[in-house]
Structure 1
Amino acid sequence: MRKLTFALLLAASLALAPATARSGTDWITGLPRQDIPVVSWPGGKKVAVTFVLYVEVWGRGHGPNFRPDMTGRTPDLVDEGFRQYAINFGLPRTGRLFKEMDVPLSLALNAQFPQAQPETWQVLRALVPTAPIIAHGINNSTDLLPLSEGTAAQRVYIRKTLDMIEASTGVRSIGWSSPSVYPDAETFQASAAEGIRYTLDGMDSDLLSRLDTKPAPLVLVPYPPSVVDMGQYLSRFKEAGDLERLWIDYVHELAREAAADPKKPATVVAIGIHPFVVGTPAGAAALRRVLQSLKANHLVWLTDVEAVLRAAGQSR
C-alpha cells in the first residue's frame, strides 16, 4: 500500500515538475507573474482545449448587428431577430451539441441572464448541468465594469455580479471574464480580492500562468482573441466553415509541436464561442466536425476550465 501511495505521489509530482517556467513582470498590471509548468495533462495529453459558451444579455437596441446598415431603422427587425434567434435557438442548440458529443463545456454568464431569459437558462443548464459558470459581469452592453471609478468600485461591481449569479444558479463563481472584453489593469486585483481564482482576461500565452495578486494569486487561463468566434465572424467576416478550419489547425498544430518536442510544457487554449455563430444550424454542423476532429487526436484533452485548474494543482 505504501509503495502504491508513493508511486502515485511520484507520478503527480512528475506531471507538475518544472519544465521551462518563466517569471517576470506582467505587462498589463505590473505585478509579478510566473508560468505554471505542466508536463502533461491527464492521460498523457499535451493540449488542453476548453470551449467557453458566452451566455449574454445585450438588451433591445444593443449588441451584435448582422446588418449594420439597418441599425438606424425603427424597429430594426433584422438585427433584433438575429440576437433573439441566438437566445431562443442558438443557446439550446449549442448545449445539445456538447451533450450529444459528450464534450465538457464551460459557461460565461452575464448575471442578468437567468432572470431575463429564465426558460432558455433552464433548458441550457439542464443540458450541461455540470458546466462551470464563469462570471461575465452584469450584462454586456449597459452595465459594464466601472473602469473610471477605481479598484473599490470594480470590487463592488464584481461582488454584485457574483451575488446575482449565486442567487439565481446556486453557484458561487470562482472564474471571471470581463463583460464586452473590457477590463483594465485594476480588474485583476479587484477580481482576486473578491475571491476569483482564475480569469479569462489573459490573452497572451499558450501556458497557464499565475499573477501575484492579493490576497491570493490569480490564475490566467489562455484566451487568445484570434480564436474567439465573434470577432472573426462580425469583424473579419468569417463563416462557420472558416472557423472550423481555424480551430482544427490551431489545436492540431499545438499537438504537432508537442509531439515534436515532448519536453515542452503542456499547453492550454480556451476558445470563446457565441450562439450567434455556433448556434445556427450551419455553425453547429461546423463545430460538430471540429469536436470530432479534436477527439480523434490522442494528444488533445477536451475539458472545462476548472478541470484544467485541478489538473494543474491550482484548484485550492
Structure 2
Amino acid sequence: MTTSAPSHGRYAYSALPDRPVYDWPEGKRLAVYLALNFETFDFGSGLGAELAPGGPQPDVLNYAWRDWGNRVGAWRLRDLLDALGLPASILVNSRIYRDCPGLIEAFRARGDEIVGHGRTNAERQGDMPEEDERALIAEATAVLTREEGRAPAGWLGPWISQSRVTPDLLAEAGYRYLLDWCHDDQPTWFSTRGGGRILSLPYPQELNDIPAVVARKDTGRAFAEAILDGFEEMLEQSRKAPLVMGIALHPYIVGQPHRLRPLRRVLERIAAERDTVWLTTAGAIAAHAARIME
C-alpha cells in the first residue's frame, strides 16, 4: 500500500525553459528590487536576530544592536538610496509607527512602497491558530492603511513564517502578492481556497543579510560580492527569460559602516545599469506580472 506524500497544493511544477517569454517595461528582462526590512522587537522577551549568543533576558546587547538599525542605520540607507536615485520596498512591522515615529514617514516621502510585515518581529505568525493569525493580519493591515492612506498590496511574514493557511488568509484580506517563498526567479500564481489566488513574488534567502551575515557569518565585503555576482549572472541569464532579483536588507546589519561601504559600491554598480535593468519595487513587479500572466 502506498500513500501520497504531503503537498502544499499551491502551484504545479513548471520548468523555467518551458515557460512563455515576456518583457518587463521598456523591453527589459531583469527586474531588480531592494527590500528594506524595518522591524521592531519586544524588550526582554520574544524573538530577535543575534549579533552574539544572547544571555538571560533582558538581552541588552542584541536588543540594542537591533534598535541601532532604526535609530541610525535606516537613515544612512535612506541617504544612500537618495544619492543613487534608487527606489525601495519598505517591509514594515506595524508597531514601527508607534516605536519609531517619523521613520516610515521619511521613506514614504521618497515615494517608496510600503509592504506589510506583521506587527513585530518578536513573533511568528506560522505558530498561531488560524483565528489569531487572521487577527494579526487584520491588525497590521489596519495600521498601515490608516498611516499610509491605502492598503498595502504585499506581505512578508515576520521570520518568513507561514502557516498552512497563510496564503488563503492574505488573499481573503485583499493582498495581491506575498513574498515568503523563494522557490522561483519569476512570479508564480498560488491557488487559495474558494477558487482564489495570490501572486508569489521571488524574495531572496541567499542575497539576504540575515542568512548571509547572521547565519553564515559572511563579512560585509563577501555579502556585497555575492550581490554583485548574482546581479551579473542574472543579467546574463535574463537574455533567455524575464527574471526577478530581490536584495533583502536590514538596517541594523548593512547600515553598519563597515558593511555599508561595500554595499554602497555594489549598489553604485547596479544603479549604473538603470538603462539596461528595471530598478523598481516589489509591488510594481507584481502588478506588471499579474497583467501579463492573466
TM range (shorter): 0.7 to 0.9
Closer/same/farther in 2, CA of residues 34 and 285 from structure 1, 3 Å limit: same
- For the aligned residue pairs, the C-alpha RMSD in angstroms reads 2.4
Residue identity in the other structure for 2:211: G
Closer/same/farther in 2, CA of residues 211 and 103 from structure 1, 3 Å limit: same
- 252, 256, 279: which one pairs with 2:232? 252
The answer to whether the 8 Å contact 1:46/1:258 transfers is yes
Residues 1-316 of structure 1 correspond to what in structure 2 (within 5 A)?
A: 29-33=8-12, 37=20, 39-61=22-44, 62-68=47-53, 71-72=54-55, 76-126=59-109, 128=110, 130-142=111-123, 144-145=124-125, 147-150=127-130, 152-213=131-192, 214=194, 216-259=196-239, 264-297=240-273, 299-314=276-291
> Could you tell me how far apart the structure 2 residues matched to 1:76 and 1:184 are?
28
> Could you tell me how far apart the structure 2 residues matched to 1:38 and 1:184 are?
33
3-state SS of the aligned residue for 2:36?
Answer: strand
The answer to whether the 8 Å contact 1:146/1:157 transfers is no
Shift of 1:76: 4.5
Q: Bigger CA drift: 297-306 or 71-80?
A: 71-80
Q: Which residue of 1 aligns with 2:3?
A: none
The answer to whether the 8 Å contact 1:59/1:141 transfers is yes
> Could you tell me how far apart the structure 1 residues matched to 2:245 and 2:290 are?
17
The answer to whether the 8 Å contact 2:114/2:152 transfers is yes
Gaps of 5+ in 2: 1-5
Q: Which ranges of 4 or more aligned residues in structure 1 deviate by more than 6 Å?
A: none
Closer/same/farther in 2, CA of residues 73 and 146 from structure 1, 3 Å limit: closer
3-state SS of the aligned residue for 1:185?
Answer: coil
> Could you tell me how far apart the structure 1 residues matched to 2:224 and 2:156 are?
24
3-state SS of the aligned residue for 1:107?
Answer: strand
Shift of 1:170: 2.3
Q: Bigger CA drift: 295-304 or 81-90?
A: 295-304
Larger Rg: 1 or 2? Answer: 1
The answer to whether the 8 Å contact 1:44/1:299 transfers is no
Residue identity in the other structure for 1:290: V
> Could you tell me how far apart the structure 1 residues matched to 2:291 and 2:127 are?
28
Identity %: 26
Shift of 1:313: 4.3
The alignment of Structure 1 onto Structure 2 pairs a total of residues equal to 280
> Could you tell me how far apart the structure 2 residues matched to 1:37 and 1:276 are?
40
> Could you tell me how far apart the structure 2 residues matched to 1:221 and 1:205 are?
8
Residue identity in the other structure for 2:152: S
Gaps of 5+ in 1: 1-26
> Could you tell me how far apart the structure 1 residues matched to 2:7 and 2:209 are?
24
